[in-house]
Structure 1
């Protein structure tokens, strides 16, 4: 998906509609946790002015990410909405650093799409089978749920008696008046 500035001039009186599927496989190179990504459906519109292009994008697709517990593939659907501006005029670029500069005569929004998708990658994602995995262990490590860990801590606290207070614990057990 690329547009030349000359091509966009025919939409000067109105807005240019967007409805296209974009292949963004290159996002996997930037984040190796993304195992696969479906073609991203891009919708929206762009309006062109004399010195800049303003676009409203909506990106929809599905990423395949590893489960944080089982390391199995998990489908993660995403929807991103963003307003982006592009300019080819140095004066406009000098006044606002949120505007994307246009190099040459062609506008390529693909790097912006990649950035928007990378921002949607969650820190953790869990598969449906992750809840079935209550305990697991290996050599030098083990996995338990938070509830099991808290129960284990509570049992350890109850079973430990401070040796300095052991005599005091016996005092309350006596039936003497």
Structure 2
């Protein structure tokens, strides 16, 4: 979905849009962790003001990722607001500085590509920890023969206990027990 910058400039109130997008294959090609992306919906506006294009939209979608523990597919519904500022590239040093400092995004060609913005924002918001509902309710971690997954807190507790056990003074502790 592309929005022409000349059309945006003509409309003083800005252009509104409400679209369903199909980007699953493009997103899977860019990130192998994504199993599927469904129901991508964008609703918002783009407006022109003082040589800047303001793109504001609500993005909602369902992303399917593998669980961090069991590798089972997990569907997560996401909705959030996206706000981006674009600027036409020209030779003005002030404008080039804004683009270089990543305060604004450059417009390449005559269009603002909303689909590219949507894809980039979905990729930037992939969660690191993905769990099934059952895994979220359970405190059980995966384990096997001679191995187990520990939380950071469990690992620290285990390290403290092991350090105390291996202390050269651990044997002397029994001498002072009053029992």
Q: Quick check: 1:28 aligned with 2:33? A: no
Q: Which moved more, 1:128-137 or 1:59-68?
A: 128-137
Residues 71/52 of structure 1: CA separation in 2 closer, same or farther (3 Å cut): same
Query: What is the number of residues matched between the two proteins?
Result: 172
Give the Cα–Cα distance (whole angstroms) in 2 for the partners of residues 40 and 64 of structure 1: 12
Q: Decide which structure has the larger Cα Rg and report it.
A: 1
TM-score with structure 1 setting the length: 0.75
Q: Quick check: 1:15 aligned with 2:14? A: yes
Q: How far off its partner does 1:104 sit?
A: 2.0
Q: Which moved more, 1:101-110 or 1:130-139?
A: 130-139
Residues 165/30 of structure 1: CA separation in 2 closer, same or farther (3 Å cut): closer
* 1:28-177 pair list within 5 angstroms: 28-49=28-49, 51-90=51-90, 91=92, 93-97=95-99, 98-130=103-135, 131-132=137-138, 134=140, 136-143=142-149, 160=165, 166=171, 169-170=174-175, 172=177
Aligned-CA RMSD value:
3.3
Residues 165/71 of structure 1: CA separation in 2 closer, same or farther (3 Å cut): closer
Structure 1: runs of 5 or more not aligned: none
Give the Cα–Cα distance (whole angstroms) in 2 for the partners of residues 163 and 50 of structure 1: 73
Give the Cα–Cα distance (whole angstroms) in 2 for the partners of residues 85 and 74 of structure 1: 33
Structure 2: runs of 5 or more not aligned: none
2:20–2:40 contact (8 Å) kept in structure 1? yes
Give the Cα–Cα distance (whole angstroms) in 2 for the partners of residues 166 and 118 of structure 1: 55
1:78–1:120 contact (8 Å) kept in structure 2? no
